[in-house]
Structure 1
Amino acid sequence: MSKPVVAIVGRPNVGKSTLFNVLAGENISIVKDTPGVTRDRIYAEVTWLDKSFTMIDTGGIEPDSNDIILSQMREQAQIAIDTADVIVFLVDVRQGMVDADAKVADMLRRSTKPVVLVVNKVDSFEKFMMDVYEFYNLGIGEPIPVSASSRLGLGDMLDEIVKHFPEHAGEDEEDEIPKIAVVGKPNVGKSSLINKLVGEERVIVSDIAGTTRDAIDTKVKWQGREYVFIDTAGLRRKGKIKEEIERYSVIRTVTAVERANVVVIMIDGVEGVTEQDAKIAGIAHEKGKGVIIAVNKWDAVEKNDKTIYRYTDKIRNTLAYMPYAELIFISAKTGLRLQRLFETIDMVVENQTLRIQTGVLNEILTEAMAMQQPPSDRGKRLKIFYMTQVSVRPPTFVIFVNDKELMHFSYTRYLENRIREAFGFRGTPLKFIVRERGEKK
């Protein structure tokens, strides 16, 4: 169930971040206190009418000279072309059409991706309309006037963006082949893992043509079942600064994770778990995907009988916000435990789509409340009427209560633990939505 990806491209000072922030609204602070999920504000979830999408900001440009601006804009346009389903090209009505706009428009036009041309800073439609029409000359379609700072015209712009989404974007396709994204820091062995899987005689591989993103999708057959592996092995262009490479790999990770059912997070066994690993894992956690942490290069780690326990503790502490993640120690080089990897993927895929009957859920709920009373505040006690599962991938539950304010997150977590004890749900996050309803007379 992958959400479409929309990327914003534009020159410095045309208002990209203002637009990004307005659309992202309060969503940016979704993760208020999840340790390890830092927000470099590269992406945000946006919902318009009944459509949701992931919006990515391709990054700021340091205005140094016109040449640098142009080369960095081309770079951003390339990122957008590689990763996005729809590109928003933002220009500024007050600066008018400049040379860099025209050159980037050429690139976007050749990309065959849908482009929505948005003219920003139009605070008054009467006053600026003639200047807006000038942008027809870019040859990428009709310019849509908006003012990000005054929030004018955003509805028309969003209508235009969602028009370009693929027909069935975001709908559940039940019986499809599991999609597995392999993510992790550069050089952790993502490609070697996929090559190893492909290299097995039992594995029949076909590179799937027509995958537009440059994350390469590889079909792998293992013991009669098919899987699609999405490789995010990134472009290591020479001479790029570390921040840019990191930002780029985060964007690539976001788009790959978005398309996957299960995410395999590879960690370098020799180096151990790092802050960047936590950041990458946070993306999968936030998007509610099944998660397997694969510690690679395990053959190269000096071990005694305690090593695996020490290692497990360290990873569990660093990724404390995802205790459900499955942990597996592998070697892409030697093929160690790759059989286990497939078994774990199958289990996680199953858990991601597990549905629990309402009756059974409520038995567990009743029992849980008997063992630990719901919290109360100033004499008012939380009442939980019932609970039902509303969707899968990730399994999502709605809990009906008398007063949302009383539902403390620690009690939600307690209920989650009870549900996990009963049904396992290993490898997948669970999502809980709390709704109020009036007291029954």
Structure 2
Amino acid sequence: MSKPVVAIVGRPNVGKSTLFNVLAGEMISIVKDTPGVTRDRIYADVDWLDREFTLIDTGGIEPDSRDIILSQMREQAQIAIDTADVIIFITDVKQGLVDSDSKVADMLRRSGKPVVLVVNKVDNFDKYMADVYEFYNLGIGDPIPISAASRLGLGDMLDAVIAHFPESDGTEEDDDRPRVAIVGKPNVGKSSIINRLLGENRVIVSDIAGTTRDAIDTEIVHNGKEYVFIDTAGLRRKNKIKEELERYSIIRTVSAVERADVVLMVIDATEGVTEQDAKIAGIAHERGKGVIIVVNKWDAIEKNDKTMREYEAKIRQVLSYMPYAEIMYVSAMTGQRLPKLYDMIDMVIENQTLRIATGVLNEIMTEAVAMQQPPSDKGKRLKLYYITQVAVKPPTFVIFVNDKELMHFSYTRYLENKIREAFGFRGTSLKFFIRERKEKDQ
């Protein structure tokens, strides 16, 4: 089941970032074992009453003049409409209802997406309630009074947000078609790859200026098996500030990756692998998805017998946090090697959903411990009691030990390598949770 995406929209200075930071809590701190992934605070994982969702801050550069503010808000609202399952529209009780609020509310209402209207800075409910009622005039439902800074009213707001999530009635669970997101920087050939796989130009329609849409899902049947491709190519935004464009593409990527099983990370062979590629691939890594790095425009590269090896070394270096990712060299223009993508996708999904019997895992662990002694500190040695797999997509393991502090990252990595030696798990990350068990619990 993919996690719902919730986006925050609102004027400058109404408290978007404060709300985002309060909801994201301390979870923003970057996953420590992912060097090279810089986390712009654009998205965060939030859970409320056992429902998890991805929160997105659509803000960006805060403009200064009134007309720019409106066009910026429209832009943000459009991003939210394109990518989110639920939209939090945040207003400010102290500034009251402003013209641009009404214009954006109209846009949100027409989109038909669920909107939760939030009135921020209500740090005294008795005093401000009359002012809160004014926001009924927006016509997008009941205003929920909150104070992000004082953390008041957030529970009611989150209840309202998760009320819009689809009940997990299993319908999505029955859809076992592989879902593949195609991500990467603009102009690396994402649409061309889909068009080539489709054998027709079906994705191109989306290039008409001003068309708004969710990331288009394209169903492709190959050898009698259906695949769903989620394309983030989306709108070409002309004359936008670079930072905004980048933010926009990251938001698009997060929401596409969230819905996919496997992510095709497309890199332009003529440009080589860049920092922004590392950022985008990092999203798929953090989300525990299967990853295939697709080097496109390979036909345009002058080659000798070392080219591919050198190229791979460079990719592995920049994307050092995902050594498990598969790499393919293709050309959307000539169609070279594209049909092989399907076999690769099938293999990665098989690895994402592989379950290993507990007995076998413990044998591997015992053997690994015998070969390389666990670390010790001040005379106390780490003991590993037991390992078991608790989930798939990605395969997730729990290791019970006597002292969590002693379980260094490098030793976890060593065990991961041993498990990979035995079962491959190519194309998918593995997650490990370390739990403590006192000696007497044995």
State TM-score, norm by structure 2: 0.95
CA distance in 2, matches of 1:169, 1:274: 41
Secondary structure of the 2:439 match is coil
Alignment map for 1:21-420 (pairs within 5 Å) = 21-32=21-32, 34-168=34-168, 173=173, 176-199=176-199, 213-420=213-420
Q: Which range moved further: 404-413 or 25-34? A: 25-34
CA distance in 1, matches of 2:151, 2:292: 41
Does the Cα contact within 8 Å between 1:204 and 1:221 map onto a contact in 2? no
Q: Deviations over 1:209-237 (max 9, x none)?
A: xxx95211111111121111111113112
Q: What's 2:423 paired with?
A: 423
Does the Cα contact within 8 Å between 1:399 and 1:435 map onto a contact in 2? yes
Does the Cα contact within 8 Å between 2:93 and 2:128 map onto a contact in 1? yes
Does the Cα contact within 8 Å between 1:404 and 1:434 map onto a contact in 2? yes
Does the Cα contact within 8 Å between 1:236 and 1:245 map onto a contact in 2? no
Report the identity percentage: 78
Paired AA for residue 10 in structure 1: G
CA distance in 1, matches of 2:297, 2:217: 23
* Distance change (3 Å), C-alpha of 1:175 and 1:387: farther
Q: Which range moved further: 95-104 or 29-38? A: 29-38
Per the TM alignment, residue 172 of structure 1 is displaced from its structure 2 partner at its CA by 8.0
Aligned length: 434
CA distance in 2, matches of 1:372, 1:157: 51
Q: Deviations over 1:235-275 (max 9, x none)?
A: 11222122221111111111100000000001101111111
Structure 2's unaligned 5+ residue stretches are: 206-211
Q: What's 2:209 paired with?
A: none
Does the Cα contact within 8 Å between 1:2 and 1:170 map onto a contact in 2? no
* Distance change (3 Å), C-alpha of 1:408 and 1:128: same
Structure 1's unaligned 5+ residue stretches are: none
CA distance in 1, matches of 2:120, 2:169: 28
CA distance in 2, matches of 1:367, 1:11: 59
CA distance in 2, matches of 1:169, 1:329: 40
Does the Cα contact within 8 Å between 2:45 and 2:55 map onto a contact in 1? yes
Q: Deviations over 1:116-156 (max 9, x none)?
A: 01111111112111111111111111111111111111111
Q: Deviations over 1:50-80 (max 9, x none)?
A: 0110111102353322111111111111111
Secondary structure of the 1:119 match is strand
CA distance in 2, matches of 1:278, 1:61: 23
Q: Output the aligned Cα RMSD.
A: 1.9
Does the Cα contact within 8 Å between 1:61 and 1:73 map onto a contact in 2? no
Per the TM alignment, residue 317 of structure 1 is displaced from its structure 2 partner at its CA by 0.3
Secondary structure of the 1:294 match is strand
Paired AA for residue 314 in structure 1: K
CA distance in 2, matches of 1:437, 1:84: 41
CA distance in 1, matches of 2:244, 2:252: 12
Per the TM alignment, residue 32 of structure 1 is displaced from its structure 2 partner at its CA by 2.9
Per the TM alignment, residue 171 of structure 1 is displaced from its structure 2 partner at its CA by 9.7
* Distance change (3 Å), C-alpha of 1:374 and 1:23: same
Paired AA for residue 155 in structure 2: G
Per the TM alignment, residue 175 of structure 1 is displaced from its structure 2 partner at its CA by 5.9
Q: Which range moved further: 313-322 or 93-102? A: 93-102
Per the TM alignment, residue 170 of structure 1 is displaced from its structure 2 partner at its CA by 10
Q: What's 1:12 paired with?
A: 12
CA distance in 2, matches of 1:216, 1:175: 17
Q: Deviations over 1:272-293 (max 9, x none)?
A: 1111111110000000000000
Per the TM alignment, residue 173 of structure 1 is displaced from its structure 2 partner at its CA by 2.5
Does the Cα contact within 8 Å between 1:204 and 1:220 map onto a contact in 2? no
Paired AA for residue 220 in structure 1: I
Does the Cα contact within 8 Å between 1:4 and 1:53 map onto a contact in 2? yes
CA distance in 1, matches of 2:75, 2:148: 24
CA distance in 1, matches of 2:175, 2:105: 40
Q: Deviations over 1:98-119 (max 9, x none)?
A: 1111111111111111100111
* Distance change (3 Å), C-alpha of 1:171 and 1:155: farther
Secondary structure of the 2:312 match is helix
Secondary structure of the 1:338 match is coil
Per the TM alignment, residue 31 of structure 1 is displaced from its structure 2 partner at its CA by 1.8
